[in-house]
Structure 1
Amino acid sequence: MSARRQTRLVAVEDRSDHVFDCIRGFLKLHRLSPDPAHYAFAHRVICDPNGALAQSVATLTEGGVRLTARDIKALGGEIGTFGVGDAAAADEPAHADTLVAQTQMQVEGFTDMVRRVRADTEDFGRDLAASADAMRAGAGADNVILLTGLMLNRVQAAEARLAAATSEADQLREKLEEARGDARRDPLTGLPNRRAFEEAFAERMQAGETLCLAVVDVDRFKRVNDQFGHSVGDRVLRAIADALTAACPDHFVGRYGGEEFIILFYGLDLPAARGMLEAARISVASKRYRLRESDAPLGSVTFSGGLTEAEPGEVQGAVFGRADKLLYAAKDGGRNRIYAA
């Protein structure tokens, strides 16, 4: 083979390795299984980074958002057996079922291993007792030495199996922790979701902390979606999420659903919590947003909110209901305002 041809082959192999690595990273980032449909979709994105598909993916995933099953379908891809998971996507139960099945297999594997070790130990005990009887009858110690060597081999094999199973269990534990975190996080904004809020409220209330709860809603959000599209609406929601998080440090900021957010203030009375929330409202209302694609003005974005202080021992539903009523009073009062009581 000529040196030029060999160099060319090496270059092709290096490029193939690079493409494989990029596709593997893409699938891992969006939690897509490596089935042919997902591989083909990732290959189209990776191999044509300036193409329409890659640009659409970049827009949809801006800010660290993972692709959803709906996104892949809309972009012309197919959904694999274990696809990417939005918190509300239909493939999340499939991912959870997979982890449950893996856990069950892991438990069964440990059970089988213990049974084998116990059976080996019982067999060794019986054989050792028989050899001891033979020694008392005048037989040599060769059988005992042979049995001991066999048992040591079995113990070493069991230790190797146990080490492998322990490694698999550690990896499964990491997956379960990751799935647990995903179940409590909104995939669009990265904020904690409703389930995480309910857990945080119960934990803080049980600890006897002073709690104030705010429910906020983006004003006229449907008009944004209808006029500019859902991708722009998603960016607006992420901007609101970032503004609330920045304005309310060390407090719980979550997405309750749709264009509705929740803030759980820890250790603040009602006036202090209101001051913090008002600062967030003013910060958001003062900005003027523009469309990235055309630089056309989107205009101002505002939110309204209802804020209330929880009574000691009060249930979460009652506190939320009171804050929600204040929110709608703020909407009726003209929007872009906070009502507190």
Structure 2
Amino acid sequence: MELTKIVDRRDYHILNRNLRKVNRLAPQMAALTDEQLQHKTVEFKERLAKKETLDELLPEAFATIREAAKRVLGMFPYDVQVLGGIIMHGGNIAEMKTGEGKTLTAVMPLYLNALSGKSTILVTPNEYLAQRDASEMGPLYEFMGLSLGCRAGEEQEELKPHDKRYIYQQDIVYTTNATLGFDYLIDNLAETVDKKFMPEFNYVIIDEADAILLDSAQTPLIISGAPRVQSNLYGLVDNFILTLEEDQAYKLDEKRESVWLTPTGIAEAEQYFSVPKLYDGTHTELVKHINLALRAHLLFENGKDYVVRDGEVVLLDDKDGRILEMTKLQGGQHQALEAKEHVEITHNMRAMASIT
């Protein structure tokens, strides 16, 4: 709900016309009993089934949920919130300052779009907001006969596909951008149909759109997995590297940023591993492991680039020297460091899927 821009005068007039309609309907909705107000949800769904559109329903649906919010939550959306809801229903971005009530604003377009029976999702930047907003707005949706799911929280980390499917089948779902992104990847990696759980996407509101679509999108979400076949060359190649002499078998550049075998080093490798020609294209894995081991010994320094803690190679931040938890070098480089330090060699992980 950030960065709104009214594109032209036509948009401005449509917004204000809808706002006037919502306000005109307010006394009519206030006169309804709770049962009559709740029945509006059934009525709207029937009208949609008869080919009436969501845009046609908007003024009355907004007026209905507005009155319901007053009764259930004790909060009556202001005109600026109604305008924000109309803007978001149209697929546009609405800028609202802190304190203007974004959580309540989102309820109106969420309610309207959930009437279609199709997937309706609100995405927030973090789990706290998703859980808080779902908890605060849940009684309102329940009052109006809609179901609510919240796909956020540590307790959901081990959910099975059928549990996730149940959550996503609710009329309205609150979640986070990271959870939704990872769920999308996991669903697309499913081996069988019964392990899939995502709905067909229909309508979503993104809270803090600038943070999610710009800032967070700079770091991709990655699902890693261990290949079934793991290399057994790390230890063997590490022993070979220890037999080499600098300037004879390998060279370092002046800035110590790259290292390579000399012709002498290539000859020693061919003799050590009993291969006729190291670079004939049939020994690419061996060449790769030699390069990784050379880098591990000559370009990575214990105490500067990493430390060994409790039998593990742990990386250090090159800016402030802090330990980088849950972070490993890719492409086998981390395993080469483990071989160098004679600790247990962990599985080499590779990216199976990623998305921003």
Instruction: Using CA pairs under 8 Å that are at least 6 residues apart, name the structure with larger relative contact order, 1 or 2.
Output: 2
- Give the structure-2-normalised TM-score: 0.24
- Give the structure-1-normalised TM-score: 0.24
Higher helix share: 1
